[in-house]
Amino acid sequence: MQYRRLGQTDLQISAVGLGGWALGGGTDWGPCEEQSARETVAAALDAGITLIDTAPIYGQSEVFIGRALQGRRQQAVLAGKCGLVKNGSWTDHDLRPQTIIRQLEESLTRLRTDYLDLYQIHYPDPNIPLEVALETLARLQKQGKIRYIGVCNVGEKELRQAAAVCQIASVQNEFSLLHPQKGLSVLPACRELGIGFMGYGTLCGGILSGKYRKEPNLRRADARNYFYKCYRGEAFLRANQTAARVKTLAERKHTCASAVAGAWALSQAGVTGVLTGARTPEQVRQNAQAAQATLDAAEIHFVENEK
């Protein structure tokens, strides 16, 4: 495993992190047994993965991760989020100060810890000025409940706005071979401002691991159906062409497709780390191989471009 400094903080994070969304089960990803989740977290730590990212909106993820980290909390760089709340079958934005404070306290309880290494605004709230939310996080930071502040799913304008309010440790945006723009749009500003960048969705829900030979029959509520937008029609065909190139290169390099997809993201200037989801120890071990896989310019060109 490789370790990289996150922005201008003293945090050293693993180049490959464990994204906790799929571990939460529920309607987004289907049932996940707690024992499987705990074994997956243990396998991640054993593979040298220290960065573990979760959120209260991720079903049982925080509960499972909190239990899995008992006795191993100091091995993890634990990242949480605030600002999304369930409202029946809907998900709403809510970055009111009282909601941020409540969500943090509840997350700390579920995660069985008294602090988070990184606390992130999950999405900007159109009804709450970004400055107001960040000022709340800064107060929580002074109280010692969070060590560093991050933002997710932002553009360059919002990032610069946030950096003018307080020290921003990192940005977390979707970033993959299939959806590179959300990362590439902020990476120059991250480099300029000394802010770390973590890409999520590196495998786009698993499609870049090469697991889908045909269009899957997904439930409407499945995250791969409504979030990643590459599992239907022409989008699926294009995605599978990219996945095929990734798999071909992986075979040439005697590694797995997940490693190549992750290595592509890690090769981009300004990327500190990537978050990959996993629901089994084998998946997390495969994802971890991205830290050892290196791609030269010709290999990067091959996976990025159709023949």
Q: Which residues are catalytic?
A: 58
DSSP string, 180-208: -HHHHTTHHHHHHHT-EEEEE-TTGGGGG
What is the Cα–Cα distance from 222 to 9, expressed in whole angstroms? Answer: 36
What is the Cα–Cα distance from 112 to 107, expressed in whole angstroms? Answer: 8
Phi-psi label, residue 71: left if phi above 0, alpha if psi -120 to 50, beta otherwise: left
Query: Looking only at Cα atoms, what is the longest distance across the chain?
Result: 55
What is the Cα–Cα distance from 137 to 193, expressed in whole angstroms? Answer: 20
User: 97: exposed, middle or buried (C-beta count within 10 Å: 0-12, 13-18, 19+)?
Assistant: middle
